Structure 1
Amino acid sequence: MTNASDPRAPLLVAEGVRKVYRSGEVSVLALDDLDLTVRAGELVAVMGPSGSGKTTLLNCLSGLDDIDGGRVLVGGRDLFAMSDHERTEHRARTMGFVFQSYNLIPVFSAVENVELPLLLVGTDPAEARERALEMLGRVGLGERAAHRPNQMSGGEQQRVTVARALVARPAIVWADEPTGNLDTAMAVQIMDLLRELNRTDGQTIVLVTHDPAIGASAGRLIRMRDGRLVEDAPTGVPAPGGGGGGAPAARPAG
C-alpha cells in the first residue's frame, strides 16, 4: 500500500486513545484521551520529556501495543477492530519501522535484511532481491549489499534499517529516535535521507526525537507531556507538493 495520491488526505486518525500500564495494584496512564490526525505526505516529529508517552504513542498508533480505549484508523481501517493476525498482516503491508537499536539480523547481509519484509508478505524472491538492491542503492549502500551488520558503521547500519523500512513501499514509516545511537555527522546524514525520501517520494514519516534541531526540520512538530498532546504546530518547512506542515496554525492540543 502506498500513500494516497492526495497529499492532504488523512492517512492516520486516532480518536480518544487511552493506554494504561498496570503493575500489580499500580496503574500509570500513558496516553490520556489522545486525538491525532496525520495526512499523507507529512513528516511529523514528536517531542517531549522522558516519560511523556512518545514511544507509547508510536507503539499504539502502529498497533504494536494494545490500547485501553478509543480507536486508531490507518488507511481507513480500524487497527483494533482486527484480529491479532489481521493487524500483524496489515502492519506488514502498510507500515515500516526504524528503531534506534537497528534490529538487524546479524547473520544476514544488508540485502538479506532489506528483502526480508518482502519475503514475509509473499513477494517473489527474485523481485524481492531486485527491490532490496534498488533500495540499498537509494540510501547510498549499493556497494555494501553483501556486508553483514558487524562489517558496517553505525550510520551504515541505520541506512540499512531505513532501506528495510521503505522497501515494501509502506503507507507510513514510524521512526523511534532514529539518530539516538549516532554521532552528530551520522545523525545529520540519516535525517537528510529521511527528509529527501519525504520530499521526493511523499513518504509519510512520524518520528520521535529528543533533538530540537530535528524537530524543527520536520514539517510539523508535536509536543507531548503526561500522555497528552500539548502543542501541534507547523514548523514552516514546506511539505511535499508545496504548502506548509500538516497543522494549519500553531495551537495547544490538550
Structure 2
Amino acid sequence: MPPLLAATGVRKTYRTGAVEVTALRDLDLTVLPGELVGVMGPSGSGKTTLLNCLSGLDDIDAGRVEVEGRDLFAMSDAERTEHRARSMGFVFQAFNLIPVFSAAENVELPLMLTGTPPPTARARAVEMLARVGLADRVDHRPNELSGGEQQRVTIARALVARPAIVWADEPTGNLDTGMAGQVMDLLTGLNRDEGQTIVLVTHDEAIGRRLPRVVRMRDGRLVSDTRRADLEAVG
C-alpha cells in the first residue's frame, strides 16, 4: 500500500536576526491511508512545527513532503493552498469558529471557498453535524455551544470536504476531562469505522495510550515510533 504521507529529510530553521533555531532536523515520517498517528513529546520538541510543515502551512528549508503522491513544496503557493483545501482538514486547540456564523455556516465555509454550490454545501454541512452528534445545534452560534460542542463543529468542518488526511493540533487542549474524552471517542471512531487518516499532536499521555500508533519527538527529531499492536504482541 503506498503511503498517504511521505516526509523525507525535513528540516526547518527559524531565524530571528542573528539567532537560528532548528525546529526540525532531517526528519522522516510515513503515514499509511487509514492510520491514526499521535505525535508526542515535551514542549518545544517540534510537534506543532512538524504538523505545520507536513501540511504545507509552513515552508521547509530542506527535504521533501508528499501527500497523495504530490510534492507539496514543488507546487506554487496557489496550488498548495488548493490542494490543502481539497485534501486536508484541520482541527486546532483554539476552535477558530466565526462568532457571527451558525454551526452550519461555519462547517460549510470550506466547501463554499472551493466553489461548491450553496445548497450542496449546506446539505453536506448539516449531514456532517449530524454525524458528530450536533443535529440539534445546526443553527446555534458558537457562543451558544459548550466547549466540547464547539470542538465537534470544528471536527465537522475539518471533515466536510472529505479530506484524505486530518491534522489535529492539541484538539482537547481547551477541554475538561469529560469533554476531551468525548472528542477523542469521536476521532478514534471516525478512524476505526470510516478509515479517516488522522495525525494528532498531543501532550496528554492518557490520550496517547488510546492511539494505535505514537511517534515521539525530542529536539526536532523523531526518537521513537510505536504501534499498540507491537506492544500487545510483546506483552
TM tier relative to shorter chain: over 0.9
Indicate which of 159, 178, 196 corresponds to 1:166. 159
Residue 58 of structure 1 deviates from its aligned partner by 0.1
1:9 and 1:191 mapped to 2: Cα distance? 27
TM-score normalised over the length of structure 2: 0.97
Query: Which of 96, 108, 112 does residue 105 from structure 2 map onto?
Result: 112
> Which sections of structure 2, spanning at least 5 residues, go unmatched?
none
Q: Does 1:100 align with 2:88?
A: no
Write the letter of the residue equivalent to 2:124.
Answer: R
Note if 1:227 corresponds to 2:226: no
Amino acid at match of 2:48: T
- Are 2:137 and 1:144 aligned? yes
Code of the aligned partner of 1:198: N
Asked if residue 18 in structure 1 is aligned to residue 11 in structure 2, the reply is: yes
1:213, distance to aligned residue in structure 2 (A):
1.4
3-state DSSP of counterpart to 1:55: helix
Question: Does residue 68 of structure 1 match 2:54?
Answer: no
Q: Does 1:217 align with 2:214?
A: no
Question: Match of 1:50?
Answer: 43
1:77 aligns with 2:70: yes
**Deviation of the 1:9 alpha carbon:** 3.3
**Deviation per residue, 1:131-188 (Å, 9 max, x gap):** 1000000101010000000110100000000000000000000000000000000000
Q: Quote the residue 1:131 is aligned against.
A: 124
Secondary structure of 2:225 counterpart: strand
SS at 1:10 equivalent: coil
CA RMSD of aligned residues (A): 1.3
Amino acid corresponding to residue 91 of structure 2 in structure 1: V
Partner of 1:153: 146
What SS is found at the alignment partner of 1:45?
strand
**What is the percent sequence identity of the aligned residues?**
75
- Secondary structure of residue in 2 paired with 1:231: strand
Q: Is 1:31 matched with 2:24?
A: yes
